Chains A and B, each alone.
Chain A
Amino acid sequence: MGETVKTKKKAFERVMQSATWAAAVITIGVLVLIVGFVLVRGVPHLKPSLFALRYTSDNVSLMPALISTVIMTAAALIIAVPLGVFAAIYLAEYARRGNRVVAVIRMTTETLSGIPSIVYGLFGGLFFVVALGWGYSVLAGAFTLSIMILPLVMRSSEEALNAVPDMYREGAFGLGAGKLRTVFRIVLPAAMRGILAGVILAVGRIVGETAALIYTAGTVAQVPSNPLQSARTLSVHMYSLSSEGLHTDEGYATAVVLLVLVVVINAVSARIAKRLGGGDK
């Protein structure tokens, strides 16, 4: 190999190395910038009145929105997770390969997961709010969100189930366990981590969602006393504050709380995943 080729190669290597390094720095830099910006603008405005149980236009309390977020997330998950996981079990464990219905279901979920959330919002508004007469309500919001996250939960659950090695199934069948026992005692627990990863993503989408909720759950800033009352989540609350333009500082404070909430949710789910996957090393 000639000297020039060698130096050329070395130079190329150096360029590529700096490029990857730069990309990493930019990625982390952007994250640090955003979080830092939110913290710097938000933390000084965190005051006790923001956590009052009742919202008034003076205190612009985020507490009702925080509670509503938790309620909304829980409700949407209760509807979507069992549906998504069971559908995934059907697809991964029961449906025969090359089945027509399976192909249709797969195509449908893929299409659904590509639809912008505002479309779900419009649908939820027309169907749950108007046609079913639920009005702007937690219930309509939760159902809309659950439809929105269903494809995500289903796909990640199906992938998690498919990733369970067949030798576990063979082992269970070989001991005389039936299909049902094999699926629910061996395969599902082994897939739990992957399923939870999908659920965490879904929680992220719910917590960050605004468009699908404005038309379905409305924007009332109080803690709902029943499922047919309107409520706003933290994201919707932030949207309202910043679009009104009167309480931008409180909007940033709300963003801080939202950030903390997301971090807490991730930490808690990671711990649950660890415990559920207890058999793993």
Chain B
Amino acid sequence: MNCFEIKDLNLHYGTFQALHHINMDIAAGEITAFIGPSGCGKSTLLKTLNRMNDLVEGCKITGSVTLYGEDIYAASDVNLLRKRVGMVFQRSNPFPMSIYDNIAFGPRTHGVKSRLELDRIVEESLRAAAIWDEVKDRLKKSALSLSGGQQQRMCIARALAVSPEVLLMDEPTSALDPISTEKIEELLLTVREKYSIIIVTHNMQQAARVSDKTAFFLTGEVVEHDSTETIFAMPHDQRTEDYITGRFG
């Protein structure tokens, strides 16, 4: 079963075409990694999946993207889409408020009012993001007092708090130290059963470690999209092989 099906997607920023004829099915319940050199369009494609590109002026999209069969660009409720398709950003972006309020912001947005229910969601999300033990005694403290790695895990918890179906992660560990990165990779492996995850990464070892499927991007096109083992062990395309073996990038 696929969560996303992308058909003949073209994306322009003004006169610049960032994505060319993307056709791609993304399997549900798996971790898919997008890899490729800077400027190859992997982050851009990620942002079309929850329509974050809507916020960019001069961004034009043709083709279709469906989430479980529904065209996300035909649907009118973009907020509902973003609830179903959560996002974790490259730089952790905790809101300047308490840890509790950060996590509760999403559920409150979508109408959860009961204190008991919010308490439960906050605890569950923080546990799922493997940060509960570190913050359970200071939920009322500012989220900005957390370390960089903790902030990013808290942002993952915040994304999980609205129970999304898909989680998009845009280079979530690129600003973190190796230990924090390891913690987040472990976390990904534990939450993979409940969510479909798409992760953009510059780090090929990371893609190899955590993902089931890998897609290799180059200059706005998908060169190859296959199981991670195939991509890393016996890629079909010469360009993929060159990139994987470090001949460019």
Contact = CB atoms under 8 A, between A and B. Distances in A.
B96 A190 contact: yes
Contacts of A181: 109
Interface in B149-164: 155, 158-159, 162
Given A176-B110, A279-B144, A170 B105 contact: no
Interface string A177-210: 1100100011001100000000000000000000
Interface residues of A, number: 24
Nearest to B155: A171
A277 B95 CA distance: 12
Contacts of A178: 79
Contacts of B162: 175-176
Interface in A53-101: 96-97
B93 A171 contact: yes
Name the residue in A173, A174, A176 with the highest tally of chain B Cβ atoms < 10 Å from its Cβ: A174
A222 B57 CA distance: 58
B98 interface: yes
B83 A172 contact: no
B142 A281 contact: yes
B220 interface: no
Interface string B70-97: 0000000001111100110101011111
A168 interface: yes
B173 interface: no
Contacts of A131: none
B55 interface: yes
B82 A175 contact: yes
Contact of B97 (A165, A176, A279): A279
Contacts of B82: 173-176
B235 interface: no
Interface string A230-265: 000000000000000000000000000000000000
Interface string B101-117: 10001100110000000
B189 interface: no
A186 B95 contact: yes
Contacts, number: 79
Contacts of A3: none
A219 B179 CA distance: 70
Interface in A138-187: 165, 167-168, 170-178, 181, 185-186
Given A167-B91, A167-B93, A174 B86 contact: yes
Contacts of A48: none
A171 B79 contact: no
A167 B142 CA distance: 17
A114 interface: no
B159 A174 contact: yes
Name the residue in A165, A168, A175, A186 with the highest tally of chain B Cβ atoms < 10 Å from its Cβ: A175
Contact of B52 (A96, A174, A278): A174
A189 B105 contact: no
B142 A279 contact: yes
B32 interface: no
A173 B52 contact: yes
Contacts of B106: 175-177
B87 A172 contact: no
Nearest to A190: B96
Given A177-B79, A279-B142, A280-B144, A171 B109 contact: no
Nearest to B51: A173
Given A176-B80, A176-B109, A168 B55 contact: no
Nearest to A277: B96
8 nearest interchain CB pairs? A279-B96, A176-B83, A279-B97, A167-B93, A175-B106, A174-B87, A176-B82, A171-B93
Interface of B: 50, 52, 55, 57, 79-83, 86-87, 89, 91, 93-98, 101, 105-106, 109-110, 142-145, 155, 158-159, 162
12 contacts: A96-B57, A171-B89, A174-B82, A175-B82, A175-B83, A175-B159, A176-B82, A176-B106, A176-B162, A280-B142, A280-B144, A281-B144
